[in-house]
Homo-oligomer: A and B are copies of this chain.
């Protein structure tokens, strides 16, 4: 058995509440988009807490904040953190909790175990939610992995029409220097995050070790038929895209349902044209969001959905086109770190499920340059992306203890 990691719950609560004050929205919400004044204030606070914890603070070219604890042996570093931006509005926990967890874990490890062998770093990523720039797409972690293209700063446009380059300049960052944010000295990255789903709550676990992040594909589909009078056109000669839509929407969801967890498929968006009560539509546009954490099964799920769409469109004599708007490969965690975190949880007496993440996370990006794994903390009612999201202080402390013990095993 390892030594028990001691976490001061009052300190954790203080950090959460004080960080939530930057961009506070209604009682428990947060509205903190990247490069906004609230975001600047939050990163300043995070940097100050890092300094108070005895970490060396650095801000990189896109505004990620790093706090570093040097190791006696040097070499590649072990990193933990998450994003500091929020949904509009979001809650206090999504992202922010992981950034704080990294900071708290390093502070506690330093206090309890002194200097590590390998360097340890905590990080607050500048952007993950795409809540100000819909195509920002993991701006913070993409900068670190060198995946921001040269034209991106001037082509990533905010909901208000501004480019992300303009927004960066307004907070004193130079878009031309983005390549400098790239790192090649990270050995492992562990991200703590709220679950955002109900699996831990229903299974009765405070914490999970995440063994994979789901692959995600977003289809934008258009079915076209023939617009007709809803009374004067007999059923048997219609070419009704709404019927094709109903069959496809039911079919793709039933496929995921039959496959069982962790497969999911969602039809969240639909628009009919002309959208009149007494008119057989000419066209129906809709989305399909399909996810699976196993790379091979993910591809099979996509193929199954595509087969159904083609079959329905052909049988119903409808036009069919689709574009793929998001396509993230499934990202298995590093098996050795998953084992190490499960061992850490057992040693710390924290019951921990092993599960896949159905949501995307910065860890997917970080996997391009480092071994990654995640820790989930139970979400009340599985909610997130809302001011009502909540995780108990007890569960949060349990999650940070697992994280800290995991970092200790990797760095000491």
What's the dominant secondary structure at chain A's contact region? mixed
* Residue A261, interface by CB 8 Å: yes
Q: List 21 A-B contacts (CB under 8 A).
A: A197-B229, A197-B231, A197-B232, A197-B234, A198-B232, A198-B233, A202-B237, A230-B264, A230-B358, A231-B291, A232-B358, A232-B384, A234-B261, A235-B256, A242-B268, A245-B246, A247-B250, A268-B275, A269-B276, A270-B275, A277-B289
Q: Are B358 and A229 in contact (CB under 8 A)?
A: yes
Taking a contact as CB atoms closer than 8 A, the residue among B202, B214, B267, B275 that contacts A231 in the complex is B214
Kindly supply a per-residue 1/0 record for chain A positions 189-221, scoring 1 wherever the CB is within 8 Å of any chain B CB and 0 otherwise.
000000111110010000000000010101010
Among the stretches A12-20, A136-144, A166-174, A279-287, the one at the interface with B is A279-287
Query: How many A residues touch the partner, as a band?
Result: 35 or more
Q: Are A249 and B260 in contact (CB under 8 A)?
A: no
* Residue A263, interface by CB 8 Å: yes
Closest to A379 in B: B232
A103 to chain B, nearest CB (A): 25
Q: Are A231 and B277 in contact (CB under 8 A)?
A: no
With A and B bound together, what is the CA distance between A280 and B198 in angstroms?
A: 14
Measured between beta carbons, the chain B residues less than 8 angstroms from A250 are 243, 246-247, 250
Q: Are A243 and B253 in contact (CB under 8 A)?
A: yes
Kindly supply a per-residue 1/0 record for chain A positions 75-91, scoring 1 wherever the CB is within 8 Å of any chain B CB and 0 otherwise.
00000000000000000
Kindly supply a per-residue 1/0 record for chain A positions 250-273, scoring 1 wherever the CB is within 8 Å of any chain B CB and 0 otherwise.
100100110011111111111110
Measured between beta carbons, the chain B residues less than 8 angstroms from A260 are 235-236
* Residue A385, interface by CB 8 Å: yes
Measured between beta carbons, the chain B residues less than 8 angstroms from A243 are 249-250, 253, 267
A251 to chain B, nearest CB (A): 9
* Residue A240, interface by CB 8 Å: yes
Q: Are A228 and B289 in contact (CB under 8 A)?
A: no
With A and B bound together, what is the CA distance between A242 and B218 in angstroms?
A: 17
Taking a contact as CB atoms closer than 8 A, the residue among B216, B220, B246, B269 that contacts A246 in the complex is B246
Measured between beta carbons, the chain B residues less than 8 angstroms from A357 are 231-232
**Could you list which residues of chain A lie within 8 angstroms of chain B, going by C-beta atoms?**
195-199, 202, 214, 216, 218, 220, 228-237, 240, 242-243, 245-247, 249-250, 253, 256-257, 260-272, 275-281, 287, 289, 291, 325-326, 357-360, 382, 384-385
Q: Are B269 and A240 in contact (CB under 8 A)?
A: no
Q: Which 7 A-B pairs have the closest CB atoms?
A: A197-B232, A231-B358, A230-B266, A277-B287, A246-B249, A196-B232, A246-B250
Measured between beta carbons, the chain B residues less than 8 angstroms from A247 are 246, 250
Measured between beta carbons, the chain B residues less than 8 angstroms from A262 are 234
Q: Are B268 and A270 in contact (CB under 8 A)?
A: no
Q: Are B277 and A218 in contact (CB under 8 A)?
A: yes
Q: Are B289 and A270 in contact (CB under 8 A)?
A: no
Q: Are A382 and B268 in contact (CB under 8 A)?
A: no
Taking a contact as CB atoms closer than 8 A, the residue among B233, B256, B271 that contacts A197 in the complex is B233
Q: Are B253 and A231 in contact (CB under 8 A)?
A: no
Closest to A279 in B: B268
